[in-house]
A and B are shown apart, each in its own frame.
Chain A
Amino acid sequence: MSVLPSLGAARIVFFKECRESLRDRRVLLNALVLGPLLTPLLVLAMIHLIVGRELEKAEKPLPVVVIGAEYAPNLVAALRQQGMEPRPAIADPELAVREQRADLVLRIDARFAQDWDAGRPAQVEILYDSSRQEEQSSTQRLQGMIENYTRRTGALRLLARGLSPALGAPVIIAPRDQATPQARGALIMGMLPYFLTLTALLGGMWLAIDATAGERERQSIEPLLINPVARYQILLGKHLATALFSMASLALGLLAFVAVGHLLPDAAGLGTVIGLRFLLVSLPVMAPLVLLISIAQLWLASFARSFREAQTYLGLAQLVPLVPAFWLMFAPMRPQLWMSAIPLFSQQLTILRLLRGEPVGTLAIGIGAAATLAGTALLFWLALRVYRAERAAIAG
């Protein structure tokens, strides 16, 4: 009698929390539908936007306002052949570009023909606004077209004088991009580790709030704590239930993601990476993090007096996983082994490596898991302190 009830209590709390949550449409919708679909849909949208735009730009005619086209009909004809679409000249092109009435202006000097005939470099100007991110590739494209024309004409001139065109090109560059299709895809996917973390966060959030602040708000916490059950058992039951929903959400999200991976355009190079292997490796990698996230949510929510208040806290907490995600994306550095001891960072790094098709160190995963579980234990202890405080039991 004295040992049995306390042994089974966590299990009883766990099953009750699960049963109650399965009857809550809000929990189901968030944990099992919206959360899991969030990542694949966001990624799909992102890829369509990025890949679609690049493809579109590379093939689409490039509209350019040309001033002084009459001075260099051959140049304009050559550029038109390469995809430029000359637009009629406008007055005050500098102002027009600044005010974004024109994107790109090519100005040909009146002395162009004169210089050309004399064999002097003939000048053209490109007017653009470098602060406009989306115009950068257009500017580069126009520059490339002009350089093409220049090189060809230069070679012809050398040939006409009986010289080898090779003389005019002492060094040539042959760019060889070593990025695998996977790595190119992973560039687009830099945010995926964060999205997966977010899915886990959303999966357990409602249950975590309902089991702590919700229990307080509907005044069931005091009767619950009067039972002859140790508080750590109650907390453990709630923790495991939160983690289960979080894990289910994550697994469903990954499955949806694998499905979406096969629908992606080949340009993203992702179909090959996101397969069953990715799913089977990333789930156990994320499992310790799910435990950490669940107890962190319970801990935070236990400070709140009401459902709404807890929602505010946990909403803000969703931004925390952005820190390692941004670090990985924008701070180029070679991750050291010790960094794997940082929970959250470690898992996001492993996911990124999986996506890039890089080898994933077992030691790094092990260190990450151990550190994350240690963090979980610490947070459990902190949450238990809140639960043991006298005021925790009293609603309102």
Chain B
Amino acid sequence: MIEVRELFKSFGPVAAVAGVSFTAQDGQITGLLGPNGAGKTTTLRMLYTLMRPDRGSIRVDGIDAALDPMGVRRRLGVLPDARGLYKRLTARENIAYFARLQGLDEAQAQARTAALIGALDMSALADRRTEGFSQGERVKTALARALVHDPGNVVLDEPTNGLDVMATRSLRAMLRGLRAEGRCVLMSTHLMQEVAVLCDRIVVIAQGRVVADGTPDALREQAQQANLEEAFMKIIGAATEAAP
């Protein structure tokens, strides 16, 4: 479970995140929805302790990120916006490297890596160097790398970016699989259809603030729109007008 309370983060005069609070429950997919530049990536970066918030608190499975960042990192599997691989290593070696860095011993790392390669249907490309991988193959490898230590919470920053239709469908299946295993899945996206088909709960962010938080149905109701996209536009629009 991920709990975020009153997060603030400024870069110089620019307030990137100005009071974000939400909770992502286990066994649910929570979507962080917002236009580009709304503060989604910054929020996630603070969540996986790459950045320190100016104010506010983050708890993952009850562990305070400010007090025990390493403990938080062990409980998170992260697919960041940057998903670079080591191109002279094979997919298997890329995944196993992160397994070792997560503290698994060599035997555990190899076993977990092999299991994920099977689960993500990557056997054909596992022992190829990642140089020349397609976007879909890259994301699969990066996802396997993020899940290698069997984390209870999975954070994904724009996971479908750059994926074709087939790869997107297979990624959605993977995320539903993670939810079925009882994990807490938190993903950011700027795509309406993404949250509509996947998310149990939607947190809408605009200009660094949470402007709506609820199930897709609740959001439609809040905006009094039957169409989720219309609801989204209305909520974002209202937030933008309200801003000084």
Seen from chain A, the residues whose Cβ lies within 8 Å of a Cβ on chain B are: 1-2, 4-6, 8-9, 12-13, 16, 19-20, 23-24, 215, 218-230, 390, 393-396
Contact = CB atoms under 8 A, between A and B. Distances in A.
A390 B146 CA distance: 21
A390 B101 contact: no
B21 to A, nearest CB: 22
B84 interface: yes
A223 B80 contact: yes
Contact of B88 (A9, A12, A20, A222): A20
B74 A16 contact: no
A8 B142 CA distance: 23
User: Lowest 6 CB-CB distances: which A-B pairs, in order?
Assistant: A5-B103, A219-B84, A220-B84, A219-B82, A228-B73, A227-B101
Given A221-B82, A223-B98, 7 more contacts: A16-B89, A19-B89, A219-B82, A222-B82, A223-B80, A227-B73, A394-B45
A19 to B, nearest CB: 7
A224 B85 CA distance: 10
A133 to B, nearest CB: 50
A230 B49 CA distance: 12
A13 B129 CA distance: 18
B83 A219 contact: yes
A228 B84 contact: no
A223 B86 contact: no
B50 interface: yes
Contacts, number: 85
Contacts of A221: 82, 84
A221 B101 CA distance: 13
Interface residues of B, number: 33
B48 A218 contact: no
8 contacts: A1-B103, A12-B100, A23-B88, A227-B102, A228-B73, A228-B74, A228-B102, A393-B50
A16 B142 CA distance: 17
A29 B82 CA distance: 30
B70 A228 contact: yes
Contacts of A2: 70
Contact of B84 (A9, A24, A218, A394): A218
B52 A223 contact: no
Interface in B59-97: 70-71, 73-74, 76, 78, 80-89, 93, 97
Given A5-B103, A16-B97, A226 B84 contact: no
A227 B102 CA distance: 6
A2 B86 CA distance: 27
Contacts of A20: 86, 88-89
B149 to A, nearest CB: 9
Contacts of B81: 222
A12 B52 contact: no
A9 B74 CA distance: 14
Q: Tell me whether chain A's interface is mostly helix, strand or loop, or mixed.
A: helix
B180 interface: no
B65 to A, nearest CB: 12
A4 B73 contact: no
B233 interface: no
B209 interface: no
Contacts of B98: 223, 227
Contact of B82 (A23, A220, A227): A220
B190 interface: no
Given A5-B103, A228-B103, A395-B82, A223 B88 contact: no
B177 to A, nearest CB: 21
A223 B74 contact: no
Residue of B51, B83, B88, B103 most packed against chain A (CB within 10 A) = B103
B140 interface: no
Contact of B142 (A13, A223, A394, A396): A223
A6 B71 CA distance: 12
B112 interface: no
A27 to B, nearest CB: 10
B50 A225 contact: yes
Q: Which of B48, B101, B145, B146 counts the most chain A CB atoms within 10 A?
A: B101
A215 B52 CA distance: 22
A5 B101 contact: yes
Residue of B80, B87, B98 most packed against chain A (CB within 10 A): B80
A226 B82 contact: no
Contacts of A393: 50
Contacts of A224: 101
A116 B108 CA distance: 103
B54 to A, nearest CB: 12
B86 A220 contact: yes
Contact of B51 (A220, A229, A390, A395): A390
A223 B82 contact: yes
A223 B145 contact: yes
A131 B71 CA distance: 73
Nearest to B9: A390
B78 A218 contact: no
Nearest to B89: A20
A215 to B, nearest CB: 8
Nearest to B78: A226
Contacts of B50: 222, 225-226, 390, 393-394
A12 B74 CA distance: 17
